[in-house]
Copies of this chain bind each other. A is one copy, B any other.
Amino acid sequence: MADGFKVINTRPGRPIGVGMLGYGSMGRAHSTALQQVPQLLPLSPRLVALCGRNEGAVAQAAERYGFEGYYTDWRQLVADDRIELFCNLAPNSAHLEPCILAAQASKHVLCEKPLARTAPEAKVMLDAVTKAGVKHMTAFNLRFIPAVRYVRELIQGGALGRIYHVRAHYLSESHHPYKQTPMRWRLSKAESGSGVLGDLGSHMIDLARFLVGEISTVSGMLKTFIDERPIGGTGQRAKVDVDDAFVATLAFASGAIGTVEATKFAAGHTSQRSLEINGEQGSIRLDLERPNEVELFWAGESKGFQRVMVSERSLPSAAPWWPSGGTVATEHTYLFQMAHFLDCIERGAPVDPLGATFLDGYRVAAVCDAIIEAAESRRLVDVVYEA
């Protein structure tokens, strides 16, 4: 130490204890987010415990991610009274019980998407967190892409007027034959509920709702292109009993019509998430592979679409979360989402409409279930949202 050194004794905000179930890529994403939150807001999340069944792996991850310790049984995790926020990053089949027990233990709950395997399951979860009076969030992280927030602000401000069209797709090649993907839990109905529909489609359905409003009627076609896959490391094969891809038409409560599609069989696309909205006053295009860009057209004013670099523009309402200059990557969506949720917890503020709650998770599940029903019954299906 040298002369003139002044010690900083204070840290921004109060600590909020966090327990996390799941330590894979989502565990890493949410942990990194927790560590960066203090850069954005005067909050200091405390990484209390990570949880997973494989002790060696969870211990290693806990060290790397900066947790104070770990559990191998989620029932112990949700019983830990140092924990104020429970993050459930487990497979879909392990969403319901841990979330409900955590809520009953008065913990706030963040759950990965899709919220549940079916709409009725999601409804049970929604009722539980509502009854417990805790904060709840479904991790539809795409809402936190600055370009998406900017578009929502434009639309909420009336910039498009009446909306005519929405077209949304999520194209991936991750299950394409040339990727030689073995059996995974996401390909089993018992564990995941549905396939691409719940995994990728749910993101685009939530985005469409977030930007344009509720969906009232759907058609649907689902397809399984490869109905058996090898079980890794064994000579055996397992049955795929969920969809590899789906297409659907949508009618919105507002009168707009649209299409939504998702697939893991689109060779050449790692993660092409695209959304276009056409309205009375103009059109908006998003391609989330380029998360810093929006294309805008204003009817009667523009001569063509203009490409806006959102990252460099002042977005007043986004200000608190905004990194100073520079571009934004996928990982920031987790940061902005976590910062928002912690801020809502701290200030007692509502999580929605900016963040997706369990109500949003439930409504997306209701749309997914309607698409499945439409495909099976070969009919248009009106989406029913229980009160």
Contact = CB atoms under 8 A, between A and B. Distances in A.
Contacts of A64: 12, 38-39
A147 to B, nearest CB: 12
A379 interface: yes
A11 B379 CA distance: 58
B247 A164 contact: no
A59 B121 CA distance: 50
A169 B258 CA distance: 12
A328 to B, nearest CB: 5
Contact of A39 (B32, B223, B281, B328): B32
A77 interface: yes
Nearest to A271: B312
Given A178-B300, A278-B265, A28 B324 contact: yes
A53 interface: no
A170 B276 CA distance: 13
A246 to B, nearest CB: 8
A75 to B, nearest CB: 9
A317 interface: no
A331 interface: yes
A294 to B, nearest CB: 8
A80 interface: yes
A219 interface: yes
A249 interface: yes
B268 A63 contact: no
Interface stretch (A130-138, A198-206, A283-291, A347-355): A283-291
Interface stretch (A1-9, A108-116, A207-215): A1-9
Interface in A307-353: 307-309, 312-313, 323-332
Interface in A269-305: 269-271, 276, 278-283, 289-293, 295-300, 302-305
B308 A303 contact: yes
A370 B47 CA distance: 53
Contacts of A73: 4
Given A28-B324, A178-B300, A270-B309, 12 more contacts: A5-B76, A8-B59, A8-B70, A29-B326, A36-B36, A38-B64, A165-B265, A266-B278, A266-B283, A267-B298, A267-B299, A268-B304
29 contacts: A2-B76, A2-B77, A4-B72, A5-B49, A5-B69, A6-B59, A6-B69, A7-B69, A31-B39, A167-B261, A173-B299, A178-B299, A217-B221, A220-B249, A221-B251, A223-B257, A266-B278, A267-B281, A267-B283, A270-B312, A290-B290, A295-B304, A302-B306, A303-B308, A304-B308, A304-B309, A325-B330, A329-B332, A378-B379
